[in-house]
Structure 1
């Protein structure tokens, strides 16, 4: 079973900080709403390299859902990716984030690394205790900074050391 690399958009690929030299601003139209996102075009290549070297599959785990393939993927050089459906929003049972049950249902027994700015101890407990999933790594990303080399390195190390990496 190939491991999953689950990607959030806002706070991870689109940090909350203002413009910086590594990021470009893009305007996205979703329905009647216009959003400005700041994206680093190098993120796509780095994520694809991580997926390739670890034999993992990239998947969107974001409320952008299919819009991530329309507006985010082409701007950072990613192909169209599978999407974890996030609606309807279920109420929290144990303090976990609303996305966590959707991630658990999608991942099933596949190992995964989840990059998100809103994953906390409650999400880990929900996944381990209440869903019985043991093989995952939650990578909390500071939403002001976004995805960094350190986060990618953590994922690579975990996938490699745990033996889930198909490329090791």
Structure 2
């Protein structure tokens, strides 16, 4: 299978914030371990950020990752009632995937979603989605680990 890999940042990549270079924003640095894990994921499918982080901050992460394909970005339209959901990003993710499919831009045959906030609603959605879905939920203070990447590798090889 060739999945789209929906990747959160906080609680998953956990970049380290340092002093900015003149602006108001901090400089964010990924650990070499996280860079290696994300590069392995990128070898399995297309990465798409599922984060409310601004584009300039994700661009800083992308420059550290040096991936062959620029990550896509899921458009996050969070509504007030999303806060009360087990998976607040679920509606935005579902809308984005449907829109990409309708536009003929969905060149994947499965979905991997790696996020530290995935609830029962996400599991129900995954069970009913038209393509195979793998949900990986890292422990927020540890983030993405070898076990998650291996699960994605097994999932991608199963198709």
The TM-score bracket by the shorter chain reads: 0.7 to 0.9
8 Å Cα contact 1:94-1:122 kept in structure 2: no
* Aligned Cα root-mean-square deviation (Å): 3.0
Match of residue 53 from structure 2? 64
The yes-or-no answer on 1:74 pairing with 2:63 is yes
Partner of 1:158: 155
3-state SS of 1:91 partner: helix
Aligned length: 148
Aligned residue for 1:85?
75
Shift of 1:60: 0.6
Q: Which residue of 2 aligns with 1:139?
A: 136
CA distance in 1, matches of 2:39, 2:117: 23
TM-score with structure 2 length normalisation? 0.74
Counterpart in the other structure of 1:45 = 36
TM-score when normalising by structure 1? 0.71
Q: Which has the higher helix share?
A: 2
1:98-137 aligned within 5 A: 98-108=88-98, 110-129=109-128, 132-137=129-134
Unaligned runs of 5+ in 1: 16-23, 164-168
| 1:28 CA displacement | 5.5
User: Hey, what's the Cα distance between the residues in 1 that align with 2:91 and 2:54?
Assistant: 15
**95 and 76 in structure 1: CA distance in 2 versus 1, 3 angstrom threshold:** same
Shift of 1:147: 0.7
Residue 6 (structure 1) shift: 1.1
